[in-house]
Amino acid sequence: MTRITTTTLALLASVALAPLALAQQGPIKIGVNTPLSGTYAPIGQQVRWGLELAAKDVNAAGGIAGRQVQLIFEDEEANPAVAVQKADKLFQVDKVDFMTGTVNSGSTLAVGQIAERAGKLVATTVSFADSITGDRCSPNVFRVNARAEQQSSALAAWLTKEKPNPKVYFLGPDYEMGRSTVAAFQAGIKARGGSVLGEVFAPLDSKDYSQYFGQIRAARPQVLYTSVAGNDTVRLLTQMQEFGLLSNLQVVGASGTLTSQNIGAIGSAADNFATGVGYSPQIDTPENKAFVSKFQAAYKADPDLYGADSYGLVFFYKAAVEKAGSTETDKVREAMRGLEWDTPQGRKTMRAGDHQALQTMYVVRVEKQKFNIVGQVPATEAVGPDLCTKF
Amino acid sequence: MVEAATGPVADPARGARPIDRIGLAMRASHLLALLLLAGCLVFALVAWRTGDVFYLRLATEALIFAGLALSVDILLGYTGLLSLGQALYFGLGAYMSAVLLRSGWSFAGVMAAVLLGATVVSFLGGLIVSRVRGVYFALITFGMAQVAAKAVYNTRELGASDGLIGVPIVKIALGFTTVSSDSPIGFFLFVLGFMVLLYLALSYLLDTPFGRILIAIRSNERRVPFLGYQPQRARLCAYVAAGIVAALSGALYPMLRGFVSPELMSFTTSGNAVITVVTGGAGTLVGALYGSVILTALRSVIGSWTSHHLIVIGLIFMAVVIFFPRGLIGVIRARLESWLVRRRTR
């Protein structure tokens, strides 16, 4: 009798569990909602390369908890209105388990809200607005890359070590983001004993910066901080060189100020420029060297921070799903909080309080058109307090 | 641009009694609108039975942008004015709605405030733009929208470049029932009803003598003063009506998606609305609705299929302009009109 009952139960159980077991056999789907066209397409390209390389590596090693990883791409055009529509499609039609890829902060915030309503998790590997893991944090949003504050604090920490009590002048682009980056670096410098000599904001796309040089020279700063970007950086630095302002002045800036895209046009005026970043292909560890050579072999290009952070994300998700033993939102979220995982950038920790990844930060300085690592700032020193109060 | 003959034309079969061409065209539009409504209801039924969420929300978004296209059609199709900045009012409605909903206003309160705000702002804007015509009108509308978009982009209280998230789900009391904006089917039907009302109100307005003055302005503005009307005043009224329609449609956007961002005010949004109207058929009203539904569907399908979707949409637009200068609905409506005439004269 008992045996019959047991057999029946076992039969029933196998019938009941069969669809579940089948579902577990299918691939794990990760939606990639990233700009594939338009101004931000080069960033979306790095995101795509990083994720594809990681998916290939993970699948070759047996997948996530034995299931293969499948990436589904959608073009969000760096427009939040398109991003939410695509997010809706990925969640509702493609039924992805997890989503990433958004680049501009507006898209990340808007998509995070869609994820909240759909009961799914998303992560960004690019957006660096502090608010995403600050006052606008969401229980369903994680960030594996360094936020603006980490870049800025790392630079401030390195700068005050190199030049104790520095006297700093600020030149920012005159719009909301420019003003907030300048304010953040001023706070970082003041907290570490430096002093602010003055600040000036130039309109975006200024052709002539020489009108500000008089006041900069009169203030006699040791350091100039700037957060202009793109062609504005080209004009600012070359004009400063022509006016002889660059001698005896350390120029530092935001991570987007000087990039591989505009450094060529700046030439020797870019020398000595320093900034704080979360990744550089020059990081001297075996893991990073292996990653860089694999990336170059696959795509004939160097990975940048977006490619590296995106590569690391797949391993973050893998670690979380395997720890949770499931792809259910609540279980994976619990597993992600406080998770430590290895990336080409070194070990990262996901802070439970605000879903911001903590990582070692680097300071790079330009020498002969190359970004050389000149300093490292430990994770805990670069990140500010947890300001998220929503969960 | 649309009808060859705009005045009453003698119909030989009926002797001296004239056929009202414009009234006939409007009747043809109504038939097409009825067809669209039926199509939407069938779609809603199918989507509801299959438990779909994505396509219902996408269709709702298409209808909301159809409202913006309607407002462009008042200016472009009826008055002959190309506005490249209609997203200004769409964005105005969207931001007002988002801000007020976040501070706990009800649906009716929000819509009333948007109506009032849009009337005031479009009246002030209209004072400027109704003084000019042609390319100057296009440039000034474009410029005003860019200024507004930049101002929002740099205003921290409005979320600056990141936009505003956290727009709460709103309950819409309709008397007999309450629709929640997070119910895909409920909100779709509500927006469908809203757009039908907007369409009916506009077709009524454009069928009045005021509408005829707008058509006269489009045909030959210099002759309008000789008929005893002031073109400038009529243009101002058309601009205000278009502003209100765009703002009311925009107010629905944050209810659907829960956020607003400066991109809603950008030239991309204005330009898409013009493309929608031209593709659908300028001066038909219903063409704006069809155009929005068709283009939104195409964008979604092609966008998932290739990252070169902008090229495909551009080629389709060029093909329509070259082969169907009256727009897709413009062509169909012309056939429908001659069918209506034949039926009447038979």
| A117–chain B Cβ distance below 8 A for any pair | yes
Cβ–Cβ under 8 Å, residues B5 and B21 = yes
Q: What pLDDT sits at residue A133?
A: 93
Closest-CA residue in chain A for B311?
A37
A201 in the same domain as A129? no
Does the beta-carbon distance from A112 to B154 stay under 8 Å?
A: no
d(CA B228, CA A223): 71
- List Cβ neighbours of A180 (8 Å cut-off, separation of 6 or more): none
Amino acid (1-letter code) at residue A77: E
Q: What pLDDT sits at residue A243?
A: 94
In angstroms, the separation between the Cα of residue A91 and the nearest Cα of chain B is 9
Residue A10 in any domain: the answer is no
Q: What is the pLDDT of residues B25-61, one digit of tens each?
A: 889 999 999 999 999 999 999 999 998 999 999 999 9
Please name which of B134, B127, B135, B89 lies closest in space to residue B232, comparing C-alpha atoms. Answer: B127
DSSP A222: S
Residue A212 in any domain: the answer is yes
Does the beta-carbon distance from A109 to B163 stay under 8 Å?
A: yes
Q: What pLDDT sits at residue B306?
A: 82
A164 in the same domain as A253? yes
A101 in the same domain as A201? no
Closest-CA residue in chain B for A88?
B54
Mutate to test the interface with A, among B263, B310, B312 (most CBs of A within 10 A): B263
d(CA A86, CA B300): 8
Domain that holds residue A265: 150-277
Cβ–Cβ under 8 Å, residues B284 and B333 = yes
Please name which of B231, B240, B245, B274 lies closest in space to residue B131, comparing C-alpha atoms. Answer: B231
Cβ–Cβ under 8 Å, residues A150 and A361 = yes
Residue A5 in any domain: the answer is no
d(CA B120, CA A179): 32
Partner residue facing A81 (CB), from B263, B307, B309: B263
Partner residue facing B163 (CB), from A88, A91, A106: A106
d(CA A287, CA A344): 5
Tell me: domain B19-345, CATH 3.30.1370, correct? no
In angstroms, the separation between the Cα of residue B46 and the nearest Cα of chain A is 15
Q: What is the pLDDT of residues B265-296, one digit of tens each?
A: 999 999 999 999 999 999 999 999 999 999 99
A297 in the same domain as A253? no
Does the beta-carbon distance from A80 to B163 stay under 8 Å?
A: yes
Q: Residues for chain A: how many in total? A: 391
Q: What is the pLDDT of residues B289-330, one digit of tens each?
A: 999 999 999 998 888 888 788 888 899 999 999 999 999 998
Q: What pLDDT sits at residue A1?
A: 44
In angstroms, the separation between the Cα of residue B267 and the nearest Cα of chain A is 12
How many angstroms separate the Cα of A56 from the Cα of each of A31, A40, A114? 16, 24, 28
Please identify, among A277, A300, A324, the residue that sits at the C-terminal boundary of a domain. Answer: A277
Interface of A with B in 85-104 (CB under 8 A): 85-86, 88-89, 91-93, 104
Burial class (CB in 10 A: 0-12, 13-18, 19+), B274: buried
- Percent of chain B residues past pLDDT 90, beyond the cut: 73
Residue A17 in any domain: the answer is no
In angstroms, the separation between the Cα of residue A390 and the nearest Cα of chain B is 12
Please identify, among A236, A262, A277, the residue that sits at the C-terminal boundary of a domain. Answer: A277
Please name which of A346, A373, A371 lies closest in space to residue A358, comparing C-alpha atoms. Answer: A346
Q: What pLDDT sits at residue B100?
A: 97
d(CA B82, CA B274): 8
Q: What is the pLDDT of residues B141-172, one digit of tens each?
A: 999 999 999 999 988 899 888 899 999 999 99
d(CA A217, CA A195): 16
Q: What pLDDT sits at residue A38?
A: 81
Residue with tokens 């995982």: A341
The number of folded domains in chain A is: 2
Residue A313, SS3 per DSSP? helix
Residues from chain B that touch A88, judged by Cβ atoms under 8 A, are 53-54, 57-58
CATH of the domain at A255: 3.40.50.2300
Closest-CA residue in chain B for A103?
B162
A321 in the same domain as A245? no
Task: Give the DSSP H/E element, type plus range, for residue A191.
Answer: helix A176-191
Residues of chain B with a CB closer than 8 angstroms to some CB in chain A: 52-54, 57-58, 61, 153-156, 160-163, 165-166, 182, 257-259, 261-264, 268, 300, 303-304, 307-310
| A74–chain B Cβ distance below 8 A for any pair | yes
| A230–chain B Cβ distance below 8 A for any pair | no
Report the side by side order of strands in the sheet with A69-75.
A69-75, A28-34, A98-100, A121-124, A141-143
Mutate to test the interface with B, among A73, A75, A140, A174 (most CBs of B within 10 A): A75
A49 in the same domain as A162? no
Ordered by start, the domain boundaries in chain B are 19-345
Cβ–Cβ under 8 Å, residues A122 and A143 = no
Is the pTM value of this prediction over 0.90?
A: no
Q: What pLDDT sits at residue A325?
A: 93
Partner residue facing B165 (CB), from A81, A85, A109: A109
In angstroms, the separation between the Cα of residue B144 and the nearest Cα of chain A is 19
Q: What is the mean pLDDT of chain A?
A: 90
Interface of A with B in 18-37 (CB under 8 A): 36-37
Cβ–Cβ under 8 Å, residues B76 and B83 = yes
Per-residue pLDDT for A16 more than 50? Answer: no
Residue A338 in any domain: the answer is yes
